Amino acid sequence: MSELRVNFPRLQDDIESLARIGRAPDFGIHRMAFSDADMEARAWLKQRIEDAGLDFFADGAANLHGRLGWDGKQPSVITGSHIDTVPGAGHLDGALGVLAGLECLRRLKESGAKLSRPLELISFTDEEGRFGGMPGSMALSGRLTPDSIRTAKDLQGLGLIDAMERRGLDASHLLRAHRSPESIHAYVELHVEQGPVLDRKGLKVGVVEGIVGLFKWNVRFIGAANHAGTTPMDMRQDAFQGVAELSMAIPRILEEHGGGRSVATIGRIQLQPGAPNVVPGQAEFSLEVRDIDSQILEGLGHAFRRAMSAIARRRGLMFEFEVLSELEPVRCDTSVMDAIASSAEALNEEALRLPSGAAHDAQQLANVTRVGMIFVPSKDGRSHSPAEWTSWEAIEAGANVLLGTLERLAS
């Protein structure tokens, strides 16, 4: 392998430039899929891809592609991630993988590297799941259906079809983005860890062994709204108390039915009618559960359903839930992991093997090709927050590991 390195000042400038798009007064970034800021970022990235001399196109899922050496005959080595964000995000989640991937393709083009396979950069649509799931990478890997497209909506009730139409995009083209396994040689993604392991160990690089699976539910406890002053505590059908009891039961459920890496989160709750002097008649909330083992994840689903049913019976409530998304755990490919590890070793970087506790586009790509991921440390494990930070030294190390990995996989 060559001793080629990324042009780090150029990559740093790209990271800082993209971070200004969608930045709010609180310094958090608000670049949700198909928002004004997202569309501005897409236009910016398109220009950067074209300026690099790469072949640009957008597929039916509005994924943005940049290709190097594409002839339509050889399967491509793909790298990428996403540039959409959660509300109040940091500047590196997703964006690092896209911009480092762009820089790697630029350097390989500038160097005239002799590669046996084409390289491809993809910025995937809505990895953060504004409309549920990961429609960009799901479309590419053939995981979308007409029904899932029709029913996809955000928390305000805006449908994916309508959101795309407002931007001049046709959601009926989503299914056309599907790629065959024969067209992809491998996929590798650089990402911030979004956890504390590498930071605490003082390491710059991680080799991801697998990606957790998850299920995400929208749950409702339904009781009876009543006067808060005249309804005795033992006569209430308080929907919120059902949520409170379930929340307190989470550690026990995980201990009895989970594994060492199981986590469960109630991250959103809405009470109806939502008045200080009214007993809540309905509590609607999210429940997200993650684990690296599919059997454990299935068992946790059964355990949470039993727990909610028992709580509802005890408190005179009804409960119902709908599945918003389900992702199977993924094991990264051994040969891709070895290519990452060899690239790190060539740079004298110690690379720790670890699982990913967050879902990523790589999880969807695993349905059509071999996948691997490179992690760089997140300061104090912070992400999905304006406090998200990774040192420039670690970013440079991760980008150079990605460059070496792409060169190995494409040779």
In which domain, by residue range, is 273 found?
213-327
For residue 325, the model assigns a pLDDT of 84
| Strand spans (E) along 23-133 | 55-58, 64-68, 76-82, 119-124
The secondary structure element, H or E, covering residue 191 is: strand 184-192
Residue 16 lies in a domain: yes
Between strands 278-279 and 282-291, the pairing is unpaired
Percent of the chain residues topping a pLDDT of 70: 100
Q: How far apart are CA 180 and CA 322, in angstroms?
A: 31
Domain identity same for 254 and 389: no
**Closest by CA position to 122, among listed 146, 138, 143, 145:** 138
For 98-126, the pLDDT digits (tens) are 999 999 999 999 999 999 999 999 999 99
pTM: 0.87
Q: What pLDDT shows up at residue 209?
A: 96
Could you read off the pLDDT of 73-89 as tens digits, one per residue? 999 999 999 999 999 99
Helix (H) and strand (E) counts for the chain?
12, 16
pLDDT at position 285 is 98
Burial category of 168 from C-beta neighbours within 10 Å (exposed 0-12, middle 13-18, buried 19 and up): exposed
Whose tokens are 């033992």? That residue is 234
Helices (H), 112-153: 135-140, 146-151
Between strands 184-192 and 76-82, the pairing is parallel
220 and 362, same domain (yes or no) = no
- The DSSP element (H or E) to which 209 belongs, if any, is strand 205-211
Please state, rounded to an integer, the average pLDDT across all residues of the chain. 97
3-class secondary structure, 197: helix
Q: Taking the CA atoms of the chain, what radius of gyration do you get in angstroms? A: 23
Count of domains forming the chain: 2
CATH for 320: 3.30.70.360
Answer whether 173's CB lies under 8 Å from 400's CB.
no
Residue 3 inside a domain? The answer is no
The CATH number given to whatever domain includes residue 45 is 3.40.630.10
The verdict on 260 and 203 lying in the same domain is no
Given a cut of 90, is residue 132 above it in pLDDT?
A: no
Q: Is the pLDDT of residue 2 over 80?
A: no
Residue 272 CB coordination number (10 Å) = 15
Structure tokens at 402: 């990605």
Whether the pLDDT of residue 1 is over 70: the answer is no
Show which of 327, 360, 376 is a domain's final residue.
Answer: 327
Examine the domain organization and report whether 208 and 305 are in the same domain.
no
The answer on 334 and 272 residing in a single domain is no
- Per-residue model confidence as pLDDT tens digits over 291-301: 999 999 999 99
